[in-house]
Structure 1
Amino acid sequence: MAGLIREVPAVGRAIDVLDLFLDGKGPRSVAEITAALGLPRSTTYELVQTLVARRCLRVVDGHAHQYDLGLHLFELGSAYGDSIELTEQGQQVAQEIVARSNETVHVATLDGAEVVYLVKAESPKTVRMVSAVGRRLPAHCTAVGKAMLAGLDDEDVVARYDDVQEWIRMTPNSVASLPDLLAELDRTRQRGLAVDDCESNVDVRCVAAAVRDASGEVVAGMSISAPAHRADERADELAGYVSEGALELSTRLGYRRSTR
C-alpha cells in the first residue's frame, strides 16, 4: 500500500523511552521507565543500557540507578538547528540575490561526492534547470559542488572519489577524472569562485562561492545560474553578486573574516 510505513518495534520503544524525558521532571530509574511504558523490566533495562552506550542517556553522577538525557541528543539537536538555520537564512539571502541579479540562485550542501540542494530561488526569467530542492547531483558537475570541494584538502577530495569506477558526465563539458577535478579545484581556490561551464546543463553556466559557519568550516555553497549567453555578458557582475551573497549567508551563520 502506498504511503505505508513499517516501524521497527525496538526503535519505537527506544524513542518512547526518550520521550518520557520531555515532561521536564528530570532523571528516572529503570523501574520508573518500566512502569510508565508498561514494558517488561528486562526489556526496559536492555533499552536503557543501549541508549547509555549510544550516549542518548547517561547515568546521573552519584546516582548509579538514575538516568537522564545524554550528550548525543544535544549534538543531534544542535545539528538539526544548524540545518534549519542554514535553510531559512539561505532562502532569505537567495531571494535578496535574485532580486538584485534577476537570475536563479541555489544553496546546497555537500554529502560525500554529491550536492544536495537546500534552496532554489527562481529567476523571474524562464530558465530550464536540472536542479530542484532535495535533488542530488554529482558535485564535480556543478559550480556549487566545486566551491565546497575546494574548501577541503585534496586528500579528503580523493577519499570521497575513492570508489568511483566510472565518472558521471552530465554534459560533454563535465569533469571526467580525478586529476582534472583536483586541477579545477586548485584554480577555484586561486579565483575564490567556482564555475560550471555548461557542465551540468549544456545551456546554463553557473558561478558559486563557499559558505562558512562560525568555525570557518565550509558548510554550504551558493550559486547563480543563467543561460550561457547571458552569463557570458554578465560574468563579472554575477561573480560579484554570488560572492556578496555567500559572504552575507556566512555572516548570518556566525562567520567572521579574519582582519589579519
Structure 2
Amino acid sequence: MGRLVPAVTRAFDILELFLEGDGTLSSPEITRRLQLPRTTTHELVSTLTARNYLIPVRDQPGRYRLGVRAYQLGSRYAEQLDLAAEGHQVARELVDTCGETVHVAVLEDADVIYIAKVDSTHAVRMVSAAGRRLPAHCTAVGKMLLATLPEYELDERLEGRELTAMTPASLSDPDALRAALTEIRILGVAVEQQESNPDVSCVAAPVRDRSGRVVAALSVSVPAHRWTEDRENELTALAVKGANELSVRLGHRFAR
C-alpha cells in the first residue's frame, strides 16, 4: 500500500461522521470530534461543500449534511452490487472458518432458489446446488424468508399450496409451519433438522439490503451426526455473522 494522503484521509473522516446521529453536523462539532485545527476543518468543509459532498442545512445556519454527490456515489455502488457474487464471497469466508457447507438463497413464490453455495471440506451429499429450487417450508433459509413476510403476503404464497414433505421431519402441516414461523420471528434465526435431507441439519439468518428489507437468507449446514447443541450454538453465531456481513456489503446499516 502506498502512503496515505493526510488531507484526503481527514476529508473521508469528516464524511464518515455524517453516517452517525441525525446526519447533520457543525464545523465546531467536526473540529471537536476529530480533534482537528479549526482552520483545517474550515478548509476541508469548504472544499467538500464546493464539490457538493456536503450542503448547508436549510434554516440551521452553520450546520451541514451529506450532499447529492455522496448520494450519487452510493447509488452507483449499489447498482454494481451482485447479490450472488457477494454471497459467494461471504460463504467462502465462512467455510474457511467452520469447514461446513454454506448457502445463500432467495425466495420465489413459496420456494427458495439457491444463488450461492460453497461446499464443506467434508464429504457429505447435499440436496442443494446453486440454481436449484426447493420448497421453502422444508429448508432453514426458506423458513427464515417466509417468517419475514407480512401476514397477508404469507397467506397469498401459501394459499392452495400443498406442503409436500421431503423427509418425515418436514413441516407438512400448515398450523405447525405457522407456529414455527412465529418462533423464528422471535428468535431471528431458523433451524432445520433433517427436513430437506435426512442426513443434514442447518441454521439460517436473514440478509438485508440498504433499505432494511430482507432479500435473502444465509445458512450453514452440517451432517446430522455432527449436529450437537454446542455445534448448533456455534454455527448459529456464524450464520448470523455471515448474514450480517453480507447485509453490510449490500449497504445495510445496523442500528448502534
- TM-score scaled by length of structure 2: 0.67
The one-letter code matched in structure 1 to 2:167 is: T
1:222 aligned to which of 218, 222, 233 = 218
Q: Aligned-pair RMSD on alpha carbons?
A: 1.6
1:92 Cα deviation after fit: 0.5
1:110 aligned to which of 98, 107, 115 = 107
User: How big is each residue's C-alpha offset from its partner over 1:106-137, in whole Å with a ceiling of 9 and x where there is no partner?
Assistant: 00000010000000101111111100111000
1:99 Cα deviation after fit: 0.5
Q: Does 1:87 align with 2:79?
A: no
Q: How many residues align?
A: 179
Residues 137 and 163, structure 2, Cα contact 8 Å, conserved in 1: no
* Structure 1 spans left out of the alignment, 5+ residues: 1-77
The one-letter code matched in structure 1 to 2:231 is: R
Q: Does 1:100 align with 2:100?
A: no
Equivalent residue number for residue 183 of structure 1: 179
Residues 154 and 182, structure 1, Cα contact 8 Å, conserved in 2: no
Residues 114 and 145, structure 1, Cα contact 8 Å, conserved in 2: yes
1:210 aligned to which of 193, 206, 209 = 206
- Runs of 4+ aligned residues of structure 1 deviating over 6 Å after TM superposition are none
The one-letter code matched in structure 1 to 2:233 is: D
Equivalent residue number for residue 241 of structure 1: 238
Equivalent residue number for residue 164 of structure 2: 168
Residues 144 and 206, structure 2, Cα contact 8 Å, conserved in 1: yes
1:182 Cα deviation after fit: 1.2
Q: Which secondary structure state, in structure 2, belongs to the residue aligned with residue 220 of structure 1?
A: strand
The one-letter code matched in structure 2 to 1:229 is: H
C-alpha distance in structure 2 between counterparts of 1:175 and 1:94, whole Å: 27
User: How big is each residue's C-alpha offset from its partner over 1:141-182, in whole Å with a ceiling of 9 and x where there is no partner?
Assistant: 000011111111222111101121x32100011011222111
C-alpha distance in structure 2 between counterparts of 1:184 and 1:248, whole Å: 26
User: How big is each residue's C-alpha offset from its partner over 1:31-65, in whole Å with a ceiling of 9 and x where there is no partner?
Assistant: xxxxxxxxxxxxxxxxxxxxxxxxxxxxxxxxxxx
Residues 113 and 131, structure 2, Cα contact 8 Å, conserved in 1: yes
C-alpha distance in structure 2 between counterparts of 1:102 and 1:163, whole Å: 40
User: How big is each residue's C-alpha offset from its partner over 1:203-226, in whole Å with a ceiling of 9 and x where there is no partner?
Assistant: 100100010000011100000000
The one-letter code matched in structure 1 to 2:121 is: P
C-alpha distance in structure 2 between counterparts of 1:255 and 1:151, whole Å: 16
Equivalent residue number for residue 129 of structure 1: 126
The one-letter code matched in structure 2 to 1:111 is: E
Residues 231 and 238, structure 1, Cα contact 8 Å, conserved in 2: no
Residues 144 and 205, structure 2, Cα contact 8 Å, conserved in 1: yes
Equivalent residue number for residue 16 of structure 2: none
C-alpha distance in structure 1 between counterparts of 2:146 and 2:106, whole Å: 10
C-alpha distance in structure 1 between counterparts of 2:174 and 2:247, whole Å: 29
C-alpha distance in structure 2 between counterparts of 1:238 and 1:110, whole Å: 22
C-alpha distance in structure 2 between counterparts of 1:183 and 1:163, whole Å: 18
1:81 Cα deviation after fit: 5.1
C-alpha distance in structure 1 between counterparts of 2:172 and 2:120, whole Å: 30
C-alpha distance in structure 2 between counterparts of 1:167 and 1:181, whole Å: 9
C-alpha distance in structure 2 between counterparts of 1:158 and 1:246, whole Å: 26
> What are the residue-to-residue correspondences of 1:13-32 with 2, within 5 Å?
none
Residues 106 and 112, structure 2, Cα contact 8 Å, conserved in 1: yes
Q: Which secondary structure state, in structure 1, belongs to the residue aligned with residue 82 of structure 2?
A: helix
Q: Which secondary structure state, in structure 1, belongs to the residue aligned with residue 137 of structure 2?
A: helix
